[in-house]
Amino acid sequence: MLEQDKNPFKNLQGDLKDVPPELRKKVMDDVATAKLIMELSHLFTGSFASIIEGMLNTKSKKEYK
């Protein structure tokens, strides 16, 4: 019962420890790779919707005004 009454978030207030440099480098490289993949996928797939919409649009630009 006493163990359940302890607040686990109070343990988070302790000193932060530095991570090993090789682990930090690996995580940063993985994040950079993920960001690159997301940007490339957006580059190739993000404009498909507007291209298809433009191809299917039958109204001329004069009718919009």
CA-to-CA distance for 27 and 37, rounded, in angstroms?
15
Q: Does residue 32 carry a pLDDT above 90?
A: yes
Mean pLDDT of 21-45: 93
pLDDT band per the 50, 70, 90 thresholds, residue 1 = low
Q: Which sign does the torsion angle of CA 7, 12, 14, 20 carry?
A: positive
CA-to-CA distance for 23 and 28, rounded, in angstroms?
9
Identify the pLDDT of residue 43: 83
- Average per-residue pLDDT for the chain: 81
Identify the pLDDT of residue 52: 81
For 14-26, the pLDDT digits (tens) are 777 888 999 999 9
Residue 19: partners with Cβ closer than 8 Å, 6 or more residues away: 27
If DSSP codes are grouped into helix, strand and coil, which group holds residue 63? helix
